Structure 1
């Protein structure tokens, strides 16, 4: 064959479609997204805009409501030294620091988060011990939960929520082969959560312990622990919480006050917050009395800018405002869980379980806070995520959301054939 003929034959071979047996290597197979998950357009890899804007909306709404609920607090002798804008400025500072911390957290790949899971969990345990040390931990209303850091008081339990989500996800990945064996799969995790629980109950902070227990149990269940084993764990946890309540007179009285808050015995005692929260919601009616028009925030409703912010929202924005807020949290939780499922479908099990742990955290805590404000659940000191006044809570919420956004960003890159 002449050189010219060989050249033409080579060009023909290059453009002629080859059979299956002639393929040098298989074409790359892209992982499929779960059913019902929209696939981004080619070249459109980026952060989840709807999720980001819902978070921004909740932050801005919370900032406005913290100002509205705290504007009259300087009239109280307890807060006489504070300015009118004291709480809203501190809340805005916490949100700004949280946004900065979230931006930094987004820069770290998921693999770095996985490597940091155990050290972060150990750090949270150390801080939970440090906060109990006299002259270090700050006590408020009989609880020692904060470490003063100058510009804000850091609450280690907020870090522990994220740390447990990461640690439990990493634990399930490492223990995947023995997930059907109770003692080998569940017992070590139960001990870890038990240690966290003992430290939290020493503060005391039963609300944070409830959230952490739900995060850990949820990740175990989503990680593949059998349903029978899961319900056994749930039964043990419920029994443990019941024992904690029954053996503590103060908590027992709060349960009785919840059952009958309007009685003469409880209306001015343990049921005082609940009755005034219900009065605020009743005054709001369908459309509310208008922004700034709340009466209950004028020294009637305690902790109106923190645990009972929803009651002020209900009074000023009415049933429509509360329903809108519930809808936003439902959408946010559902979207976070979808991102977690997508990561698992892409074989990123740690990322998926950790993200779903964040979804459980935000969804369950919002559910408890809303239920307490509506009188559907016993009074418990848990803030409304992303909205209630609380520096470390807002900061850690935003770091957790940044982690979710990072996982979603890596998911989209993998779906387009890139690396995480």
Structure 2
């Protein structure tokens, strides 16, 4: 077994040294490096107070980065066809984990949310694993059944039932933000796969109504919504986090106070090294620094979209759908995290990928990007098995696919 593991890693290293997308890898490493620096800066006071070590979170994040590199090399060594072949089992395991995390004594509760499985040395956030499983499961489903999406209701309803079960389990934790991000990625895949416009429009209406109902029925979500609209009306109560975040943005102005010079991280802004690290980045590097960081994310997502489009042009549907979903996941999570920090969106509790502190988020992010690198490498080598072409319904009967748009 050790020999096979060694062989896998030797293969992944060989791939990495070969024809991988170097701009994508550079952007990935740049974001991770910035994340380590910002976590060290944003957490230094809190870590010293809580753990007696100002570098506590920085050290742990550095360890997670090393684990992320190991995970990335492992994923890079696995052919894309195997992710498609075993996506169903991965989804089953994920659903079991999402049930286990809800059981008291097994799932760990933090700030009223039961989202973590305690494995002793580390805690795993199950919602992050669910994102990975959802990408592969739904990409595989739409690859096999995409013809059903525009021939009737059956192919439209089946994936929605699985997505509904995932979202239901996420809301029980509760993790509303992850449910929104995951749903957006799956719906985007469905649109690209060629769902009928009438079905897709109906789904969007139902989604909006459902989100509104969830906000009204849960008092704490309604409070967040009202607070988001006017945070200064309750700046020392429900609006405290948002007002402190806005103060951080105001203090940073154009070019910031300099690395390490944030005042808001000194116990004024809660979750400074996790959910609101964008505010600390803006305070220390200003609006210019934050825009530069968002520019790196934009370039990364653009590269992923380019790889997805190349796969779709080659009719490699599973690779295309999964890669496209990765791009949507990253875009949604960045938009929501920064949108919350600047007061554009209600508080959601989502991390900024590769920048915020969070081991599960970092490991799953590394796994997803390693998959994208593998997809691009197989595309260049011509190794991925193309999906046989099928005859489609008239263009007017369904939404245009990315393959046609390309």
- Structure-1-length-normalised TM-score: 0.86
Aligned length, in residue pairs: 369
Structure with the bigger percentage of helix: 2
Find the aligned partners of 2:179 and 2:64 in 1 and give their Cα distance. Answer: 23
TM-score for the superposition, normalised by structure 2: 0.89
Cα shift at 1:227: 2.7
Assess if the C-alpha contact under 8 Å between 1:94 and 1:391 holds in 2: yes
For 1:406, which of 374, 379, 384 is the aligned residue? 374
- Residue 219 of structure 1 corresponds to 189
Q: Deviations over 1:397-420 (max 9, x none)?
A: 000000000000011112xxx666
2:132 is the counterpart of 1:132: no
Determine the structure 1 residue equivalent to 2:272: 304
Alignment pair present for 1:271 and 2:239: yes
- Could you tell me which residue of structure 2 aligns to residue 95 of structure 1? 65
* Residue 231 (structure 2) pairs with residue 261 (structure 1): yes
* Bigger CA radius of gyration: 1
Moved over 3 A (4+): none
Displacement of 1:127 in angstroms is 0.6
- 1:175 corresponding residue in structure 2: 145
Report the equivalent of 1:59: 32
Structure-2 separation of matches of 1:286 and 1:374:
15
Alignment of 1:11-410 (within 5 A): 46-74=19-47, 76=49, 79=50, 81-263=51-233, 266-410=234-378
* Secondary structure class of the residue paired with 1:72: helix
- Alignment gaps of 5+ in structure 1: 1-43
Cα separation, 1, equivalents of 2:356 and 2:322: 24
Unaligned runs of 5+ residues in structure 2 are: 1-16, 386-406
- Residues of 2 paired with 1:411 and 1:109: CA distance? 11
The residue matched to 2:270 in structure 1 has which SS? Answer: coil
CA–CA separation in structure 2 for the residues paired with 1:325 and 1:392: 22
Structure 1's 59 and 374: CA in aligned 2 closer, same or farther, altered over 3 A?
same
Offset at residue 149 of structure 1 (A)? 2.0
Task: Encode CA deviations 1:358-414: one digit per residue, 9 max, x unaligned.
Answer: 111111101110111111111110000111000000000000000000000011112
- State the alpha-carbon separation in 2 of the partners of residues 206 and 215 from structure 1: 15
**Hey, what's the Cα distance between the residues in 1 that align with 2:85 and 2:169?**
25
Alpha-carbon shift at residue 290 of structure 1 (Å):
0.1
Looking at structure 1, the residues matched to 169 and 374 of structure 2 have their Cα atoms a distance apart, in angstroms, of 31
